Structure 1
Amino acid sequence: MSGVWPRGRTGTMPGVLSMRSNHAGFQGSVKTSANDFIVTEIDTLGRLLSESTAKTPRALGDTPAAPESCYPQSPCRSCPEPLELRREEVLGPFNSPSHAPVEGLSPAKGSTEHVAGTAPEGGHHEVGTLDSLLDESVNELLNQFACNIKDWWDSEHDPAAHPTEFSLGPVLDKRNRADLHSAIRQKFPFLMTVTKNNEIIVKANTDYKQLCQLVSEEEAFDFLKFLDAKLENSKFSFKPDGNKEHRKAVHHFVSQKFGKLVETKSFSVTDLNGQQNVAIIVRFREKSLSRKRPAADCQEKQDIYTGFTLRKENLETLEAISYLSSELGVLPSDFSYTGIKDKKAITYQAMVVKKVTPERLKEIGSTIEKKGMKVYNIHSVCQHLRLGQLKGNHFDIIVRDLKPQSNDFSADLKERISEAIENVKTKGFVNYFGPQRFGHGQNVQTDQIGLALLNEEMVKAVKLFFTPEDTDDPVNQAKRYFLQSDDAKGTLAMLPEFKVREKMLLRALNRYGLHHEGCTRGWLSIPHSMRIFYVHAYCSKIWNEAASFRFLTYGSKVMEGDLVLSEDNVGENSSLNDRVVLPMVGHSIKYPNNKVGQWYHERLAKDGLQTCSFRVSALQLNTPGCYRNILKYIHNLSYHFLEDNEKAIKTEEDSHLNESKASLLLSFDLDPSCYATVCLREIMKCEL
């Protein structure tokens, strides 16, 4: 990949994007070969995931990294709500929860007693089960639905104006359904679940809301978790209550709603201050526990998960998964990973595959090597990976054919390069999404498909999806044939087996037709994570353009109306400028209260999305949005110059670089969701 491509050429990031620094930069060729661009994940323990994970833990700089949002992600879970910077600069966190100390009671001998304000045993296990049973994107949508229910209850808005149900879709396996019912109720006691024709429907639990009118929300939350856990010989205690009439109302409510399952009694207790009081104790009726399926049976039927490190070369992550799923006989959705890696590179990343044993994965080793893949560190794990579940990425990059900018004659090349690297090391770079986010070098980029889906132009989205590249390989021959003939069945026969997404879509189109409804059914036939990938590409494009407008308008200085992260979310050493964030568009974000916010509204209107809710119900797509830091910094940076077939220059006093042979080796770490190509673009001052 040449570093001197003209702006706007296919393969670059969409649009002309402004840069952070004003140094001169230099020219060079990046990704001349896969060996010139090596990406290695840094796991949550700080280890490099190459052939062996037994590497020295790494620290990504002294400044704590702000929580990074990797779509899909719900703002109410892990993406910190930013603050709007006002003239008074009041920077306290929004809606910080404040939990009062909870009075404790000594458990009765020979039993497990749950006191209001404490979680029943097994709760963490159930939450883990939920994460492992649900696809990552569906799990995020469920979390968003749960947040919305709580928000509506806590606000004055009419809940009837919002969706009151959320479907997890059909779950055919009876044991999986039972585990999902239990896991959802354990994590969200204020929700209830029902099954309709193998489809799990999630609703608000009105019993929870009614109980909250009698006891604290904390007590109601813990009580319903206790009910669902059904631990033998367990008891639950509400907080001591000296009001007899109030206790009577609680007794009546529990008996009326759950009398077949539990019984209640009042007991004298001594609180933490040594004062006598009365508390309501709840215990299970013996016959109710006998109906519960033994826990051992649940453990026996749990799914198999195998973790491994994937080394791939000249392959996209989703393309590699298509190969692997085809060889292993599982679905692409059975694979999970922490992020998508570059195609034109050698990359090492963690993966987990469901329903495949370590032994089975080892069997395909020689087969997948022919496709440019190897697997290492194969081992059994308990559950899938989550997007963003890593500490960062390490990069080893060689920039070849170094030259000064065409109009730069004021300094020698080595000085220019050192100046550029040190400048970005100090000042950071604009945290754009890189070109691989949009389909590097493709005639139709992924953000165009995402825009068509958001506008519910299903047929157009399918046509864009099958737009061929300017090559004559079997895949592009098949795409070209489809656009010319609309023959889904014939195109199916032409495509290689590893093109799983294309084949899924074509089978649905062959069955339902190439019209709006048929194309909608076609998009529903591919995994949710792949559908929403295109929408996120469009959201990323808008973020890039917003960040560029922000720097052109205000520079790097924080301005009134900007959204900034509170110090609680970024650490003490972070400056105010480093804490500025911009929203990734979605239905649950706020916009800056300045010219940038106005720009967002005008830009979305240009694409016909001025009234878009960022929900496409027909495709089960729900984009809540999140926030992304404008500036990011390099960590653990080192570099040196190479000449004469990559022989390193030994001293800084050497003469000027021989431009025809000179290369630059860069080694550095970046936070999750940061792009090395974007960092290089800032250093070199040219499009990559």
Structure 2
Amino acid sequence: METRCLPCFMSDHEGFSGSIKNSTKGFVVIEIDLHGRPVNRTDPLEQTPAAQQSSNKEEEDIRANLRTEKPVLREVTGGVTDLNADGSVLTEDFDLNVLLGCSVNEALEEFAGKLLGCSEEQKKDLEMTLGTFPDKQQRASVHRAVRHSYPHLMTVTNQAEISVREDPDFRELSKLVSEEEAEDFFRFIDAKVHGSAFTFCPDDSKSHRTSVHHFLSRRFGKLVETKSFSEQDKTAITVRMREKGRQSKKRTVMDCEEQVDTYTGFTLKKENLETLEAISYMAAALGVLPSDFSYAGIKDKRAITFQSMVVKKISPERLLEKVSEFERRGMQLSNIHPVSEPLRLGRLQGNHFDLLVRDLKPHGKCSSPELEELVSKAVKNVQTHGFVNYYGPQRFGNSQSVQADRVGLALLKEDMNTAVKLFLSPEEGEDLQNKAKWHFLNTGNAKESLALMPAYKARERLMLRALHRYGSNQEGCGRAWLSLPHGMRVFYLHAYCSRLWNEAASYRLNTLAHRPVQGDLVWARPWQDTSDTQVHVVTSAEERDSVFSLKQVVLPMPGNSVKYPENILGKWYQDRLAQDGLGLCRFRITSLKLNVPGCYRPLLAYPHNTTYSLVDTSEEPVTGQSPPHSTPGLKLSFDLDSSCYATVCLREIMKCDP
């Protein structure tokens, strides 16, 4: 692993040598979903398409109507009062401590407060999971209670998991009326009591009232009707919930704009293919853009991998038609079913790995029984002490001559020309894509290079097409980068930040004690997200009293919304960024619509559910020849949390690069 500081080990066992990925069958990766289940499962618990569709329908109803059955509301001016149907005070339990538990409710309160203080750009990617609720009625209660307590949040169900994020409708309305009125109005909408009404505060500006009318018609036209009433020289807007079965006499703006997207989920099994390369193949075959595919994480190339994916604009029937074509490309699709929304990066619990290490040899001299003891000690040490949570080489494109972090650095410096040249730098080999890249490097002719580039290399073709259209100057190169999907653009920035994180981890462990020291950052709560409220700076007293352990230490991924350690490591970050010409970097590239808020990553990681055994990996004997010598190998299986790398864990076990 290439870092400017020497990589560190956490255990002092001897280790051994061996090789992996001689064959993809010796490196199997299976994604583990948020419910702790492997995505390639074929057990009876797997949802049928009909069951999945029912689950999605439940989610769509919640999102469209914002809540299910609600108590009757008394009509008031400027707000609502919760009542039962008989007029008595509502007694339904809105105690989130009971529904969610104290720790999750406290985290939700902090999350809701953080949203109110964030910029609109920062809010877009902020989301929090409340946990999994198998019972439908329990989910309905959570939805009601959260929305009642925090009207500026929207709740979303993905199967049995409920997550929350900012409600864009609330944000828009709160720009037109006060936040207090917006909260009361959304509680009124959530109640969804037919025939009930809500009246906003008096408003003397006709143009402003018109803006409010237009917003309400566009966003809630199917649920409510609005009218301005004058009383005692004051005019106010009253909103009335439509009666059951009563339709609007004229089409609203919402009716005209309404369009339901089609999403299809599936499990992808691929072999010897990068995730983005597989997506490019499928996008070209289906006639959609690579950005129409979403996934929870990128998987290894030199492996057999199973992962969940969602494709937009394609029905399950249409996807099934292409299954045989994909199989010829080394991809198998299963569990094809309709879903209601795309996947989000990081929406997985982790990954399960089945590895085969061949040509097992000790670093020193020992017999076979001693080798078994050596392996046992190594595995147990890593289970106990963990390993440094480095990003693996595949994060940077280990098979490429120009690695992704160099492209990311050029983008952060807004040197678009250099970034394009690095992106289109040829690798080793004489295949068509390299011939096309060499042609562009030698001639600068994007049109001719595009004609040479294979159809499945979607990213390269998008870039070359834009360069041909806009030219290869600074502006043209910027527009060429904009032609790539957002996820692909930001990938290169994240690669650079990952490289810096690796170097910071080595510096931290080589320079400071292997325990939390003053100025270190640690997780302050069990609920972990990327917000500053979840990290705590270790004090001198806490260092003295050993309040925290090394497994709680986190290091920041550089960005515009993170705090840095308040010791020599914080100074190291400043100097290292300045060394790359990023001393004043805001980690925003407005021209490319890119923003890197940063996050926190645990310094250490630990394998779970680890099993191992020594096996004979010698080849089958050839007829007429002597049987080959016995070759010991290691079968190793374990689970890792999301964004942790098996090659890094194996490096700690073996004490060398596998």
- Please, what TM-score do these two structures have when normalized by structure 1? 0.69
Could you tell me how far apart the structure 2 residues matched to 1:479 and 1:32 are? Answer: 28
Aligned residue type for 1:365: V
1:668 aligns with 2:638: yes
C-alpha distance after superposition, 1:621-666 (max 9, x if no partner): 001111111111111000000015499xxxxxxxxxx996010000
Which of 609, 623, 626 in structure 1 is aligned with 2:596?
623
Q: Counterpart in 2 of 1:88?
A: none
Q: How far apart are residue 148 of structure 1 and its match?
A: 7.7
Shift of the 222–625 alpha-carbon distance from structure 1 to 2, 3 Å rule, reads farther
SS at match of 1:569: coil
Q: Which residue of 2 aligns with 1:470?
A: 428
* Residue 229 (structure 1) shift: 10
User: Which residue number in structure 1 is paired with residue 23 of structure 2?
Assistant: 33
Per-residue deviation at 1:497? Answer: 0.5
The CA deviation string for residues 54-112 of structure 1, in whole angstroms up to 9 with x for no partner, is: 5799xxxxxxxxxxxxxxxxxxxxxxxxxxxxxxxxxxxxxxxxxxxx996315679xx
Q: Which residue of 182, 187, 207 corresponds with 2:176?
A: 207
The reply on whether 1:252 has 2:202 as its aligned counterpart is yes
Deviation string for 1:483-539 (max 9, x for gaps)? 011010001111111001111110110011111000000000010110000000001
Partner deviation per Cα, 1:358-387 (whole Å, 9 max, x = no partner): 111111111111211000111111111111
Q: Structure 2: which amino acid aligns with 1:187?
A: D
Q: CA deviation at 1:562?
A: 1.0
**Matched position secondary structure for 1:638:** strand
The structure showing larger relative contact order (alpha-carbon pairs under 8 Å, at least 6 residues apart) is: 1
Give 1:247-646 correspondences, 5 Å limit: 251-253=201-203, 258=209, 261=226, 283-284=239-240, 293=252, 301-405=259-363, 412-569=370-527, 576-643=549-616, 645=618
Counterpart for residue 682 of structure 1: 652
- Alpha-carbon distance between aligned partners in 2 of 1:626 and 1:575, rounded to the nearest angstrom: 20
State how far apart, in whole Å, the 1-side matches of 2:268 and 2:615 are.
29
Counterpart position of 1:76? none
Q: CA deviation at 1:290?
A: 5.5
SS of aligned partner of 1:192: helix
| Residue of structure 1 equivalent to 2:144 | none
Q: What is the CA-CA distance between 1:192 and the residue it aligns to?
A: 2.8
348 and 486 in structure 1: CA distance in 2 versus 1, 3 angstrom threshold: same
Letter in 2 for 1:675: Y
Residue 150 (structure 1) aligned with residue 117 (structure 2): yes
* Structure 1 contact 342–436 (Cα < 8 Å) conserved: yes
Counterpart position of 2:65: none
CA contact (8 A) 2:122 2:597 kept: no
Distance 1:164 1:312 in 2: 34
Q: What is the identity, as a one-letter code, of the residue corresponding to 1:235?
A: A
The one-letter code sitting in structure 2 at the alignment partner of 1:390 is L
What secondary structure is seen at the aligned counterpart in 2 of 1:670?
strand
Q: What residue number does 2:82 align with?
A: 105
CA contact 1:118–1:222 (8 Å) conserved in 2? no
Cα contact 2:80–2:188 (8 A) shared by 1: no
Partner Cα distance (2:346, 2:276) in 1 = 16
Aligned-partner Cα distance in 1 for 2:629–2:17? 11
Q: Is the Cα–Cα contact under 8 Å of residues 193 and 241 in structure 2 kept in the other structure?
A: no
Distance (Å, rounded) in 2 between the aligned partners of 1:264 and 1:19: 73
Amino acid at match of 2:604: L
Note the C-alpha offset of 1:449.
0.2
Q: Which 5+ residue runs of structure 1 have no aligned equivalent?
A: 1-6, 58-101, 120-143, 153-161, 167-182, 194-204, 238-249, 267-279, 648-657
Give distance in 2, aligned partners of 1:557 and 1:510. 55
| Structure-2 separation of matches of 1:220 and 1:103 | 12
| 1:221 lines up with 2:178 in the alignment | no
- Give the distance between the partners of 1:226 and 1:313, measured in 2 at CA: 53
Report the AA paired with residue 251 of structure 1: C
Q: Could you report, residue by residue, the CA deviation over 1:153-181 in whole angstroms, capped at 9, with x for unpaired residues?
A: xxxxxxxxx99999xxxxxxxxxxxxxxx
Q: What's the secondary structure of 1:350's corresponding residue?
A: strand
Percent pairwise identity: 48
Alpha-carbon distance between aligned partners in 1 of 2:641 and 2:381, rounded to the nearest angstrom? 19
Q: Distance in 2 between matches of 1:262 and 1:288?
A: 16
In structure 2, the partner of 1:47 is 37
Aligned length: 529
Name the aligned partner's letter for residue 676 of structure 1: A
SS at match of 2:570: helix
Q: Distance in 1 between matches of 2:431 and 2:121?
A: 46
Which residue identity is paired with 1:612? Answer: C
| 3-state SS in 2 of match to 1:641 | strand
| Aligned AA (2:176) | D
Q: 1:31 is paired with a residue of what secondary structure?
A: coil
1:571-618 deviation line (CA, Å, top 9, x unaligned): 9xx963221111111001100101111111011001010100000001
Report the alpha carbon displacement of residue 349 of structure 1 after superposing the two structures with TM. 0.3
Report if the CA contact (8 A) 1:235-1:281 is conserved: no
Using the alignment, how far apart are the partners of 1:611 and 1:450 within structure 2? 16
Instruction: Flag the 1:544–1:408 CA change in 2: closer, same or farther, 3 A.
Output: farther
Cα distance in 2 for partners of 1:427, 1:56 equals 36
Q: Is the 8 A contact 2:268 2:332 kept in 1?
A: yes
Partner secondary structure for residue 309 of structure 1: strand
Q: 2:651 corresponds to which letter in structure 1?
A: R
User: How many angstroms apart in 2 are the aligned matches of 1:644 and 1:548?
Assistant: 35
Equivalent position SS for 2:17: strand
Structure 1 residue 48: deviation in Å? Answer: 1.3
Segments of 5+ residues of structure 2 without an aligned counterpart are 48-78, 97-110, 125-155, 157-163, 214-225, 529-533, 535-546, 621-627
Q: Which amino acid aligns with 2:362?
A: P
Q: Displacement of 1:253 after TM fit?
A: 4.9
Q: CA deviation at 1:672?
A: 0.9
Q: Residues 233, 18 of structure 1: CA spacing in aligned structure 2 closer, same or farther, 3 A cutoff? A: same
Q: Kindly indicate whether the alpha-carbon contact (under 8 Å) linking 2:275 and 2:301 is maintained by their aligned counterparts in 1.
A: yes
SS of the equivalent of 1:687 reads: coil
Change (3 A) 1:35 1:105: same
- Residue 206 and residue 495 in structure 1: after superposition, are their counterparts in 2 closer, same or farther (change >3 A)? same
- Aligned CA RMSD, in angstroms, stands at 4.3
Instruction: Quote the residue 2:197 is aligned against.
Output: 235
Superposed, 1:68-217 pairs within 5 Å as 105-106=82-83, 150-151=117-118, 187-189=167-169, 191-192=171-172, 205-208=174-177, 211-212=178-179, 215=180
Distance change in 2, residues 1:55/1:188 (3 Å): closer
Distance 1:285 1:264, change over 3 A: farther
For 1:539 and 1:428, the matched residues in 2 are separated by 23
The letter for the 2-side match of 1:188 is P
1:150 shift after superposition: 3.2
Distance across 2 between alignment mates of 1:592 and 1:164? 22
Q: 1:165 to 1:623 in 2, by over 3 A?
A: closer
In 2, Cα distance between equivalents of 1:683 and 1:165 = 40
Displacement after TM superposition at 1:224 (Å): 5.4
